[in-house]
Structure 1
């Protein structure tokens, strides 16, 4: 694999992690296939183990709280590319708020992801979300 290809893959995977956060913040569930592989598996404390893009999207729709928004800030992204697979991990801070108000809840978490190259580009195949801390404001 050339250095240029490796750099391009790492940038695309970094963008993918950002698109995942924006998908959640903007509640664009119909765009989930731009982030997730069809056979994605998500492990989260709230949802347990979710298998397949349809189950993940349905969980996200059911989890919406009317009038509540989120803002995900993702940092410390690490990406290790190995051919058509990659491991990506990051820290995230998630603020829960209502329009015009300060956050009423904030949480820190760690994301560990398996990413795969598909004909449509890199997609999340597995996501593991591990909470680190929470604070009610």
Structure 2
């Protein structure tokens, strides 16, 4: 398989792994998706810098009763050597166990990824809300 295609598959997998990490609340695994020097920009968390700050924010802001289901689509990846940019659309359902979603949000995701000794990781991640519906 050509390197470019293998890189694109691995970067696409980052989006899936991040969605599962968020949905399953596996905060200790943030280093499997983000680079140590990551910068995350989101409307809820503001600007977070470094893997420890991102992990801390996720665990502090966790609402045990609320669940999420992230679905990512329309992924576009542009690889240039050991760095790549990627963007995608994301639909996030917020729900409580056994109940229909009480909120749904459409997001645009933008990131810069870097090749590290342990594989591709997200170095810069921007979450831009497109819309939110309260159900």
**TM-score range, shorter-chain basis?**
over 0.9
In the TM superposition, what whole-angstrom CA distance separates every residue of 1:36-89 from its partner, at most 9, and x where no partner exists? Answer: 000000000111100000000111111111211000000000000000000010
Q: What is the DSSP-based 3-state SS (H/G/I as helix, E as strand, rest coil) of the residue aligned with 2:2?
A: helix
- Alignment root-mean-square deviation, CA: 0.8
Q: Who is 2:46 aligned against?
A: 48
Q: What is the DSSP-based 3-state SS (H/G/I as helix, E as strand, rest coil) of the residue aligned with 1:38?
A: strand
Question: Following superposition, which runs of at least 4 residues in structure 1 exceed 3 angstroms of deviation?
Answer: none
Q: Who is 1:69 aligned against?
A: 67
Gaps spanning 5+ residues in structure 2: where? Answer: none
Q: How high is the TM-score relative to the length of structure 2?
A: 0.98
Q: Who is 2:56 aligned against?
A: 58
Matches within 5 A, 1:93-112: 93-112=91-110
Q: How high is the TM-score relative to the length of structure 1?
A: 0.97
Gaps spanning 5+ residues in structure 1: where? Answer: none
Q: What is the DSSP-based 3-state SS (H/G/I as helix, E as strand, rest coil) of the residue aligned with 2:108?
A: strand
Between the aligned partners of 2:64 and 2:21, the Cα distance in structure 1 is: 17
Q: Who is 2:111 aligned against?
A: 113
